[in-house]
Every structure is written in C-alpha cells, then in structure tokens.
Structure 1
Amino acid sequence: MTASSASARERKRAAIGTAVFAAAPATVAGVVPWLLTRWDVKTPVPGGVPAQITGALLIGAGAAVIANSFVHFATEGVGTPAPFAPPRQLVVGGLYRYVRNPMYVSIAAAVAGQGLLLGQPKLFVALGLGTVPVVVFVRLYEEPVLTRTFGAAYEEYRRNVPRWLPRLTPWRPESPESALA
C-alpha cells in the first residue's frame, strides 16, 4: 500500500464519516424547526416579502456554508466534525479563513432564515436558547481540545480568526507550515 493510496482511503473514510455526521446539523437546522412550526407560514408574515426573501437567502447560504465546511473537514482535515472522529489536520481553509465556527454560524443563519421565511418568532426564541449550549460547548470543550491537539498552529489561528463574526478578508497563516503543524 502506497502513501497516496492510504491517503485516498483515509480521505474516503473521512468523507463517508462526514456525510453520516451531516444528520446532526440537518436535525438542528431542519427537523427541529419543522417540529416547532410544521413549516406553517404565518399570514401576514411580519416584514412581508422582503423578510421572506431574506429568510430564503439565509437558508440557502446556511446550506452552502455547511456543505463547504464538510468538504474541508473531509479533504483538508482528513476527519469529520464529530468529536469521536476528529480531523487529523487543523482545518483553516475555505470559509474557516473568515470565521472559526462557520458550521454553527450557518446553522443559526438557516434557523433564523426559516423564522423570517415562515414568520415564526418561536424559531428566534429556539435559536436564542440553542445558542447557550453551543457557546458553552465551544468554549469549554472544542477550543481546549483544539489547543491540546494542534498547539501553536491553533493558537495562531485563534488569534487571527474570530469565533463568531466573520472577518472581511481571509486570514492567511504567516507560513504554510504553521497551518499544518
């Protein structure tokens, strides 16, 4: 077995694991809003058509960001977003150059988008309540684990890329090796 075939096999396994893990954000961004609203559109929708268009754009953008993030975990990180099958490499490419947590941000955007599209304020309440455990998980579990796993490379990344609100320009590590350390 060559190094390239092993790498291809690892990337394939990472892609499959990431696809399976997709059930988690699909549940949070799709099933939970459906359970709360049955996707019933309140009439009239507060904010009217402009709110609904904004909501549809947020849902589409959220889905695209989640898909892009999954691709980066499988190809760049050679792992999954799941804590039980973490990436082998620090993921700092793609949208991760703008914000450290694009998946959480995109899930929030998708839920908020549904709230706007459907005119369902309860989705904003659910989003607010759901934000608390996510922030606690990121601060108390994810960040310490990433610091222990990737050390100085993660610290440099953390200093340069915001946790929740994206940068306007992509971050580029000082040296390519620092992103891979």
Structure 2
Amino acid sequence: MSPASSDAQWYEAKVPPPLLGLAGLFLQHRLAPAGGGSWPRRAAGLGLSGGAVALMGSAAGTFRRRGTTVDPLHPDRAEQLVTDGPFARTRNPMYLGMAAVLAAHAVARGGVLTWLPVAGFVAAIDRIQVPPEERALHRVFGQDYADYTRTVRRWV
C-alpha cells in the first residue's frame, strides 16, 4: 500500500474536526459551574466568539473563492494552495477559530475545568489532525507548500 493510499484510508476513518469542537462544547457545559457566568464574562465570550466565527467564515470563503476543498478529511483533493487572506497569518485559521470558540465559551461560563476541552481540542488537532494534512498538502504542492510552512506558522 502506498503512503498516499494509507493516508486516504486514515482520513476516511476519523472524526471531522467540527464534531470534535461540538463535543468540546458539550463537555464544557458539563464541567461549568452551576449558574453560568456573569454578564461581563458572557459579553467577553460573545466578543471573542464573534471574532472566531468571522475568522472561520473568512477562511472558508477564501477556500471557496479559490475553488478548492474545505473538507478536512480529504486535503489531498485540494486544487489550490491558499496562502492569502487569513492563511497569510496562520496555516490553520479554521482550527484556530474553533479553538477560539471553545475559549470564548470557557470565558463566558467561567470555571477552571471549562478550559480542559480547549486544551484537549488543540492537542488533538495539533497532534492527530494537522500532521497528516500537512503530509498530504506537501505531496500535492511540493516545494510551494514547504516554502509556505517556513513563512507562516501552524497556529499564530
């Protein structure tokens, strides 16, 4: 079995990152202190989540305008290497946005334990999701992708 086909099978078998984010939100609800957060916490969380959603929307829109896939389970289907818009600052603006939504929810709800799903999401994306994506993108775009990874950080 070639490396490309083994990566393709790995991609087909895993959970989409948005579902991991939703699982994190559910877990945060379970871990949050009773009564929810104060109005200043909620306002701060709302502001942060607005920025996070805008970042994810901008990234998805950039992909769509460039005519390439948004599907994180099949990065090998990418037809364009997108390096403009939010991708000029971070290689993973959608994952960064998802992590920021979880952080916003942790701020809004309060409590130390609500930060555990944020850390778990970032660790899972950084260690499980991103490396195979990067290998697939390197196979598809070669030196152009290698150059991009040297100039733009994975997160921020």
Normalising to structure 2: TM-score of the pair?
Answer: 0.75
1:89 pairs with 2:80: yes
Change in CA separation of 1:121 and 1:131 when aligned onto 2, cut-off 3 Å: same
Q: By how many angstroms is 1:28 displaced?
A: 3.8
Structure 2 gaps, min length 5: 1-15
1:54 pairs with 2:41: no
Equivalent pair of 1:70/1:80 in contact (CA under 8 Å): yes
Distance 1:33 1:119 in 2: 13
1:163 pairs with 2:137: no
Q: By how many angstroms is 1:42 displaced?
A: 4.5
Structure 2 match to 1:9: none
Larger radius of gyration, structure 1 or 2? 1
Normalising to structure 1: TM-score of the pair?
Answer: 0.65
1:118 pairs with 2:128: no
Structure 1 match to 2:70: 80
Structure with the bigger RCO (C-alpha within 8 Å, sep 6+) is 2
CA deviation string 1:135-181 (max 9, x = no partner): 1135531111111110111111111111111xxxxxxxxxxxxxxxx
The residue matched to 1:96 in structure 2 has which SS? helix
1:33 pairs with 2:25: yes
Equivalent pair of 1:28/1:107 in contact (CA under 8 Å): no
Letter in 2 for 1:134: I
Structure 1 gaps, min length 5: 1-23, 166-181
Distance 2:94 2:131 in 1: 18
Counting aligned pairs with the same residue, the percent is: 25
Residue 59 of structure 2, aligned match among 62, 69, 78: 69
Residue 141 of structure 2, aligned match among 126, 143, 150: 150
Distance 2:36 2:145 in 1: 47
Letter in 1 for 2:141: F
Change in CA separation of 1:132 and 1:40 when aligned onto 2, cut-off 3 Å: closer
